[in-house]
Amino acid sequence: MKKLLVIVLIVTSSYAFAQVVVQTAPPQQVVVVKQKPAFTPGLRVNLYTFYAFDDNVDSYYSTTDYYNGTIKGGFQWGGGLEYMMVPQQGIELSYLRLDSNAPMEYYDYSSNRKKNTDFDVATNYILLGSNRYFGMNPKIEPYGGLQAGMAIFNVTNPDNGNSGNSTKFAWGAKLGVNIWASDKVGIKMQTGLVSAVQSAGGGLYFGTGGAGAGVSTYSTFYQFYIGGGLTFKMGN
């Protein structure tokens, strides 16, 4: 009987002690570590609409070989395909077009006098560049970039129908910000400069009554712009 009582006492004591240990033991803390999803290189489609400003051009070789005037600004549009290699860096192939006019004073050999003509000018830029992003928060993405490529000019003299074209080296620089309205769609605000080196003169002439002959000297063309557009993240 005593042995039975001892066994019951030991079992009861053990159970009570276990309850005390369970009740007095401090709760275990569970630490959850969240990892950012790995960056996946992806493609962006950029659409641009800008206002381009005027730029003066002039070239003087002699009293019978010169021109001066203004390449007018206006509505400039285009687009780009941008490959995001890392979160802060993208490579973009872009196209921009500007249809404007260029009122010029030049010397006309055929009439042996100076003349004024308002030429029609179509400018096409094809540029490859690098964009550097500076992430402030997930919704605001400032950036800057440099570009290089070519400018293709088409000039028509409306007085006589003469036309000519030329391809020149071009470069550009830009600053802007993407404001993301959603995970896939953002609004672009951008300003910048595009320049065509020795774009007027040489193969692209203002003289002798029209494009195609006359002026053999050069003038570099600079055009500032301001505007914006849309950007789209493609894929998942």
pTM given for the model = 0.75
The per-residue pLDDT for 231 is 97
> Which CATH fold topology does 35-233 show?
Porin (2.40.160)
Question: pLDDT exceeding 90 applies to what percent of the chain?
Answer: 42
The per-residue pLDDT for 156 is 85
Q: Which amino acid is at 92?
A: E
Local confidence band at 211 (pLDDT 50, 70, 90 cut-offs): very low
Cα-based distances in Å from 20 to 9, 12, 16, 176, 234:
16, 12, 6, 66, 60
Question: What does the pLDDT average to over 205-223?
Answer: 54
The per-residue pLDDT for 214 is 39
Give the tens place of pLDDT for each residue, 99-129.
999 888 876 666 677 878 888 889 999 999 9
pLDDT at 91 over 90: yes
Give the tens place of pLDDT for each residue, 34-81.
555 667 889 999 999 999 999 887 766 666 667 788 889 999 999 999
